[in-house]
Amino acid sequence: MAKNGVSLPDNFSEMGMAGMAKVGLEMVAKIPPEDARPLLEELMKCVQAVPDPSNKSIIRNLIEDDTEEVITRLKLRGEVFKLHVDFSQPSQVRYPANHGGHCRWPGKL
């Protein structure tokens, strides 16, 4: 990121998790698309889908056809990013005991 002119503010360590997440998103936005694509793909590897909400025992990795709208992918990326940087805050999301530490989005988006 340094080659793209990204630098941390002097008070970065005092910004708290929300401030750091904001700076992180701003930094990612400055990365050229060809460099950002592998980072975004890696970020999304933890997302899983429950294709049939009535049968939550079937869980699989997210595939391209699970999301139709670009805005849905952007929202998912934002939520996954928040999950990774805001883990010390109390969660509003409740995961089943057997979720295995993966982030999930139920059903088709």
pLDDT classification of 57: cutoffs 50, 70, 90: very high
Alpha helices in the chain (DSSP H): 16-29, 33-44, 70-85
Q: For 66-103, what is each residue's pLDDT tens digit? A: 888 989 888 888 888 878 776 555 555 555 555 555 55
Which residue in 98, 99, 49 sits closest to 73, CA to CA? 49
Record the pTM.
0.54
Q: For 8-48, what is each residue's pLDDT tens digit? A: 777 777 777 777 777 777 777 788 888 888 888 888 888 89
